Chains A and B, each alone.
Chain A
Amino acid sequence: MKLRANLVIGGVLFALAIFVGLLAPWLAHTDPVMDANLMNAEEPPSWTWWFGTDDQGRDIYSRVVYGARVSLTVGIISQLINSVIGVALGLSAGYWGGWWDDVVNALTNVMLAIPSLIFALAIMAVLGPGLTSLLIALGLTNWSFTCRIARASALSLRSQGYVQAATVLGYGDLRIMITQLLPNMLGPIVVIGTLGMGSAVLSEAALSFLGLGVRPPFPSWGSMLSEAREQITTAPWLSIFPGLAIFLTVLGLNLLGDGLRDILDPQSRSRRT
C-alpha cells in the first residue's frame, strides 16, 4: 500500500500533539500556572522564552504545551461519546427500521437543525463551566453525522447475504449488529470520528474563548486566545502560538481523516485493487 502524504502529515501532526500532551511535565520549562513573575511580563519570543511571556510573566511555551492536554482530552473523549451515541442510534435505527427509525430520524433532524455550538453553549450554561461539563456538552451535540452514516450503512448492510445468513443461523439482533454490521461500517465511522475530533478541538477553543471552558488560570488554547485578545497589537505572540497550536492540531486531524477515508472507503479501495 502506498503511503499518502495527507495520511503521513496528518498522522505526524496528531501524534506530535498527543506526544506533547502526554509529556507536558517534561517538555514544559516552567509551571504553566504558578510560575508567574511580573519581572518577565510580556517578553517577546527569545531563546529563554521560546514563545514569549504574557502580562503576568508566565511562559507561553509551557502554557501551550499544557494546553494540549485539555484540547486533546476534550477532542478525543467528546468525540468518543459522540461516536458511541451516533453508532448506537444510527445502527439500531437502520437495522430495525419502523417506529424506532422514525424517532431517531426526527432526533437527528432536530440536532442537525440546531447549530451544535449554540446547543453546547446552552448545555454549558446549565452545567456551569469546567472540563467535565465541556466533555458532556460537546459529547452530546455532535453525533448527528455519525448517526446518519451508521444508519445509511446499516440500511445497505442489512440486505447483505452474510447478514441474512446470520439471521438464518439463529443470531440474535444484538449479535448481528455487533458482529456483522458494526465491523463492516467501521471505516466511515472512524473517518467521521477523526474529522469530528478536529471540530471538537475547535469547539473547545471557542467555548473556552467565551470563558465557558477550563477555568483560568489553568491554560487551554481557547482561553489563552481569549486572554490574549486585548494585547493582540502590543504582544501578538500571545495569540499567535496558541492559535498555531489549534491550527496545526485541527489540520492534522483533518488530513488524517482524509487519509483514512482514502484507505477505508470501500469505493476507493475497489478502484485500487
Chain B
Amino acid sequence: MTGTPLIEVEDLRIDLDDGSRRVAAAEGVSFRIDRGETFGLVGESGCGKSITALALIGLLRHPLSIGGGVIRFEGREIQHLSAARQRELRGNRIAMIFQEPMTALNPVSPVGRQIAEMFVLHKGKSWREADQLAVEALASVRVPAPERRVKDYPHQLSGGMRQRVMIAIALACGPDLLIADEPTTALDVTVQAEIIELMRNLCAERGTATLMISHDLGLVANVCRRVAVMYAGRIVEERGSADIFRSPSHPYTQGLVASLPRLGSRAALGRSRLKEIAGVVPAITNFPDGCRFNPRCAQATDICRTRAPETDPLEAGGLVRCHHHA
C-alpha cells in the first residue's frame, strides 16, 4: 500500500506496575493498518492483545501504562495527546466494540437514545436530528422495525441484536478504524456468522479499517487480510491470512494451526487426538529469557534460551520472530 498508513504502531511497550517493579506486559509491538484494511490480532488470553487495543485508544489505566514506542494515527503521534484530544478521537475516528454485548449497553437507557447520543456528542446534532439518525443507524445494522426498536431497552433485545446495536453505536460517527475485541465470543455460532458478515459488509461499504482481536485464528483469518499472532507480549508472526494457514513459520503459529480441528480429518487421517501445544503461557512477571516460547518449543536450541530473536522478513512476505524460521 502507498501513502501514510491509517494507524502505525512502532516498537510499542506496555508496562505493568505490580507495586514493586515494572514489567513489560507487551513489548516490541509493531504493525500498521492501512485505510479500509482488515487486520487481525490473535493470541491466547493474557498475551497482550487487548491491552494493545486499549493503548491505541489511549485507555490504559493504572497499573498499565505505555512504556515506550510510538502510535501514529494518520501520521500524527497520538500517544501523548491530552485527554481531551484523545476523547475527540475516541468514538468519532476510532471506535471499539466489546466481547460482552450483555453488559456494554446501559440497562436504563433505550437503545435508540444510546445511538443518538453519539451524534449529539461527536457531531453536534440536536436530539431531534440524532433520534432520526439513530433509526437509520439501527436500520443499517439490519435490525427489523428500527423505528419501534429504538425505544427498546437492552434487556428486551437478544444477544445478537445487542451486538448489532453496539455496532450501530460504534459505526455511528463513521470512524476510520473499528477495533473489535472478541466481538462474537459471547454469541452462538450461527449468530456469530451473521454478526461477522454484517461487520465485514458495513466496514467495506464505508471504508472503515478493522482491527479484529480474537483468540480464534480461524475466525480472524477468515475476516482479515493480514494476521499477527501474539505470544507472551510479543508479535511472533505477521502474515497474509492465507499464508498463515498454508505455511505457518513460527513454531507457535504452527502449533496453533495444527491444533485447529478440521472437518473430514478423521476420515482422512483416522481417529486421532487433536494436536496441542504442550505447557502453559508463562506469567507476565516470569517471562523466560531469550525467545519467550522456548520452554514449549520443540525446536528450541541454546540460542533460543539466551537471545531474544528479532523480527525477520520472510521471502513469501510477512514477518517472523524466530531464530529457526523456515
B interface residues with partner A (beta carbon < 8 Å): 57, 59, 87-92, 95-96, 98, 100, 102-109, 117-118, 121-122, 166, 169-170
Contacts and interface: CB of A to CB of B under 8 A. Distances in A.
Nearest to A181: B106
Given A168-B90, A172-B87, A179 B117 contact: yes
Interface stretch (A104-112, A146-154, A157-165): A157-165
Interface string A163-205: 0111111111001000110011010000000000000000000
B87 A170 contact: yes
A183 B100 contact: no
Contacts, number: 61
Interface residues of A, number: 18
A121 to B, nearest CB: 40
Contacts of A165: 96, 98, 104-105, 166, 169
A223 to B, nearest CB: 43
Given A161-B98, A179-B117, A169 B91 contact: yes
B121 A168 contact: no
A168 B57 contact: yes
Contact of B103 (A161, A169, A172): A161
Nearest to A166: B106
Contacts of B170: 169
Nearest to B105: A162
A170 B100 contact: no
Given A161-B98, A175-B121, A170 B91 contact: yes
A162 B162 CA distance: 12
A179 B118 CA distance: 12
Contacts of B104: 161-162, 164-165
Nearest to A185: B108
Contact of B108 (A161, A164, A183): A183
A160 B103 contact: yes
A184 B105 CA distance: 12
18 contacts: A162-B104, A162-B106, A162-B107, A165-B98, A165-B169, A168-B57, A168-B95, A169-B90, A169-B118, A169-B121, A169-B169, A170-B88, A170-B89, A170-B91, A171-B121, A172-B87, A179-B106, A184-B108
The 9 A-B residue pairs whose C-beta atoms are closest, nearest first, are A170-B91, A161-B103, A169-B91, A170-B90, A161-B104, A183-B108, A165-B104, A162-B106, A168-B96
